[in-house]
Structure formats: structure tokens, C-alpha cells
Chain A
């Protein structure tokens, strides 16, 4: 249950909005729910709906509308390469294809260890630093700019090592 685990954080999110406009908190609460498993399930949506006094269908609608929420498990890390026009003019499409080839997956696919999904995304406001990608995980998003295949593969290695270390602790 989110309410037990994150009581204090939920309260500070709610405090940002007028008390009669609680539903404004739906987006930050969805990020909170996504923190551990990188997707939101029906139970989470129902609980958020209850906290905000809206229907869980409305919460599911938000999850469906916005690109950064996921309703099913895929890679724990999503490596999202911008291939929009300005990045494509600087080699981003080739970069994505080559990276996927080296990982033995198709764009949009997940590595066999279930850890990393590599996909093309729309503009990330880093057009002067292509090729670039962001890595989204439950704990946030970070940018990696002016990338080469080598720097990207090194990062993926690091994410794998971190994940293995975490599994060892659990």
C-alpha cells in the first residue's frame, strides 16, 4: 500500500495544491507509485483514485495519455534515444540501430535479462548534443549527451553491475 509506505511524501505532494483541487496531485502520485517496479498496476491506480476522490478509470486515463507512465512490466531501465528531426540530422537513427544490433534486440525491445528496454522517443530538448538518450528508471530520469556506442555500452554495463549488486543485497 502506497499510503502506508509513503505517508509523509504523499502529504507533502498534496500540500502543493489547494485542498479542494486534490486531483492535481495525480501525476506526482503516479511517479511515486512507479518508483519501485517502473510500472503502475491496477491496485496502485485504485489507491491513487481513492486518495484523490476520483475514479480509477480517470487515473488509468492519465497513465494511458502520458508517455512516461507504464502499465505493464518491461525493462527496469528504459534507455530512450531521441531520433527526432534535429537529432536524426546528426546521426541518431544510425546510433539507435547500431546500439540495438550490439545488444541483440530490436528498437523497442528488452534485453534478455529483462533489465533494459531500448526505444526511440520524441524530442528531449538536447538537439545540439546528439546522439543522446535519457535513462528512465523508477527513481528518476537522467540525460546522457554527445554519446558514442562505446559510452552507451559502458553505461549499460554499469547499470547491470548496479542491478546485480542490488539483487545480492536483497
Chain B
């Protein structure tokens, strides 16, 4: 689990439990400034002023899309009431395990972030949607919420003001698609987790058809620190366009996989070699997936390794930052095997609503099975490429797009692996 001891970068902003013992105890959290930010906004600030500070910090959503958080809050429709906050704790992207550490280690900072967001949009109810596998975490959060109600930090007439707030947890039941915000809202409403047609977007038509802000756990966990220490301080971390700290979930063929909280703009090389302890058996890095299984495969040459991990730079080397779930691939890994894994995942997780994704992921799974088994010809690789290309741009949500990233980039950038995997056409016909 990540680095310990002295840090040569900024002190922890999100993973503060690594240096403050028992931070999941309310009294300890309060002793370290906890709920001062929530008290400050409720007693001293207008809701719009809170949103302004968040806008000014230039915090961008940490769930994957990188949308400016403060701007999202300004979209809330003030002609339609009530408003809701729905915190997205569905964390299901292969390679992503950051929200889980926050929820386990620093849950009160996350809950305080939820509370501040709720005040900013004048919501009196907030839901935390957790993936079903986070059963124990949900039970712990319920206890934390009860402790906050007991302490008068949640409930009615908070801080003597006319503001009330309740927070509820809601468990999903094993569906990757529920991390997509509108599928999550459907699921929270007791329906199949299938994405909605947008627009309308959640800030005008969200949970139960009411204006709703949906934010990721990590995003919300930034908020109390931004209120306490100010937007200028926040912008002093990271890069100009991608400010702030980010948790990088590092996995794959590295010596020390784990979560690393680092400024946005840290390079792949620094993450893998300085923090992650380098590669297992000292093998060369072959490819990098920067956004989990939804990533294209970045060819790990020197230019890529020295690329800063921020929202603007990663696309320049043919990838995207997403939720910063960095899966590192070494030269022992065959790319046909890898895309077979990702294709099985997306086939299993496609919700079935849009035909190109439902059918396309099915055929990509079968084609990659065939290529992986050594029974394919070059034509099968061409067909796979064709199937993947036909999913592009034809689905309601991003899952279809995600499912083809590794497939297309794998074939484009690691063609020699596929040549090695396919037999000559005559040999296939002769079987």
C-alpha cells in the first residue's frame, strides 16, 4: 500500500489517514480541523459563495471525465425543487481502488465534502451510492453518519441556522455500468442500471427527476480542504489547467502497487520508478493503461514515460487520464491476451440497452477468444477491428467507447503481437 514516512511532495490532502492515526474517529477528525469547513459555510457563507470558491479552485471531477466541479454546481436548476446530492462510490473500473481507501481511512472528510456540496446547492438529502461489494464500508459509513447526527453535525437546524441535512447510503449489487451517472440514478431509483438519454443532464433532471449533483468520492473529499485553505492554496498544487493533488492507483507489473497521492503533472516515470519501486524483475515497460481497462494502450517509450499525468498531456501520447488508474504492462504480457481480458469484462458489464455495445462487445469477446486460442487468421483480427470501429460513437454512454480503446490501440500499436498470434489462413482452413 503506497508510500509511507516522509513525503518529498505536498503533505497529504486526501489520504491524511496515512499520517494521522485514527482519523476515522470523529473526535480525532474534529481535532484536526474536521467539520470547521462545514460549520463555516453554513454559518457564514451564502450557497453561491461556496460554489464560487470551488469554481475558483479549478477542481476537476476525479471520477474520470475531469469536468470542472464548481461549474457543475452552477448548473443546478433553481426553479425545480427539492435538490439532491448523489455521491458516486461505485468504483468499479479495473485498476481503480482509490475511493475505497478514502472511504475506509478518511470517511469523515468525504462526508464533510458531501455536506458542503449539499449546502452549496441547498439539498436537504444526499445519497451515497456504493457498489454492492463495499458492503462493509457501507455499514461503517452508516455508523459514521449516526455519529454525526449524534454530534449535531447532521440533522435539523445545523449550527443554529435554518439548514437541515440527512445523508443516506445505498448499496448497488454488482454492475459496473452504475458508475455512469445516469445509470447510477436509475439504480438508486430502484430500476435497472441503464444510462439515460442526455440531455437533460442531472443538474436539471436527476434523482427522482429533480436537480441533482453527482460527484465522485475523491472529488468531494477535496472540498473541505479547499474551503479551509482557500482556492489559491489549492491551485498552488499541480498544474495550471489541472490543479490539485490526485490519487494515482498503480497496479500491474510493478514492485509496489498501491495508491499514491501526488500532484497532477507527476510523470509516469516518477510514478512507476520513484514511487512504485520499478518493474518486477527489472523487465522493461511495454505499455501503460492510464485510465484502467477503459484505456487505450500507450506505447511506453521515453516520451510517454516522461509525460506529465494531467488531463491535457496524456492525450498527446495517445491515452487519457480518466480516473488515473495506471495499469503497467511489461514485455511478458501479450496484447492479444490483454484485449481478451478487457473484452470479457465489457461483454459482462454492457447493460444491453444500445445494440452496438451489446452485440459488439459479444463479438469482440468471441473474436479475441479465437485469437487468444491460436485458431485465428489475420482476417479475424481485421474483423475484430471492424466490429470495434462500428461501436464507436453509436452508444448512449461511454461504456461502448471504453470497450474498444484497448482493442483498437492494441491492434494499431502492437501489430507484431497479433501477427505472432494468428496462423496462416491455409492452416486455419485445413483444420
A residues neighboring B (CB under 8 Å):
16, 18, 21, 23-28, 30-31, 52, 54, 61-62, 65-69, 84-86, 88-90, 121-128, 134, 140-143
Contacts and interface: CB of A to CB of B under 8 A. Distances in A.
Given A61-B192, A122-B94, A123-B92, A85 B170 contact: no
Contacts of B95: 85-86, 123, 127
Interface in B85-124: 91-97, 99-100
A18 B208 contact: yes
Given A125-B100, A127-B94, A66 B193 contact: yes
Nearest to A25: B190
B333 interface: yes
Interface of B: 1, 91-97, 99-100, 131-136, 139, 168, 170-176, 187-193, 208, 249-253, 257-259, 293, 325, 327, 329, 333, 338, 341-342, 345, 348-349, 351
Contacts of A122: 92, 94, 176, 345, 348-349
A142 B351 CA distance: 26
Nearest to A89: B252
Contacts of A123: 92-96, 176, 293, 345
A164 to B, nearest CB: 25
Given A128-B250, A141-B132, A62 B192 contact: yes
A122 B173 CA distance: 13
Contacts of A121: 174
3 nearest A-B pairs in the assembled complex, by CB-CB distance: A67-B174, A66-B173, A128-B257
A6 B252 CA distance: 45
25 contacts: A23-B189, A27-B172, A27-B173, A54-B190, A65-B175, A65-B192, A65-B193, A68-B132, A68-B173, A85-B338, A86-B252, A88-B341, A90-B252, A123-B93, A123-B96, A124-B133, A125-B91, A125-B96, A125-B97, A127-B94, A127-B96, A127-B97, A127-B251, A128-B97, A140-B135
Contacts of B249: 127-128
Given A66-B172, A69-B173, A85-B327, A128 B94 contact: no
Contacts of B325: 127
B171 A85 contact: no
A85 B173 contact: no
Contacts of A142: 135-136
B171 A27 contact: yes
Contacts of A140: 135-136, 139
Contacts of B132: 66-68, 141
B87 to A, nearest CB: 15
Contacts of B349: 122
Nearest to A23: B190
Nearest to B135: A141
Contacts of A62: 190-192
Contacts of B94: 84-86, 122-123, 127
Given A61-B192, A90-B253, A128-B249, 8 more contacts: A21-B190, A27-B173, A66-B175, A68-B173, A122-B94, A122-B176, A122-B349, A128-B257
B389 to A, nearest CB: 22
A18 B325 CA distance: 36
A24 B333 contact: no
Contact of A52 (B176, B190, B253): B190
Contact of B171 (A31, A54, A65, A134): A31
A126 B174 contact: no
Contact of A85 (B174, B190, B193, B345): B345
A27 B149 CA distance: 25
A67 B173 contact: yes
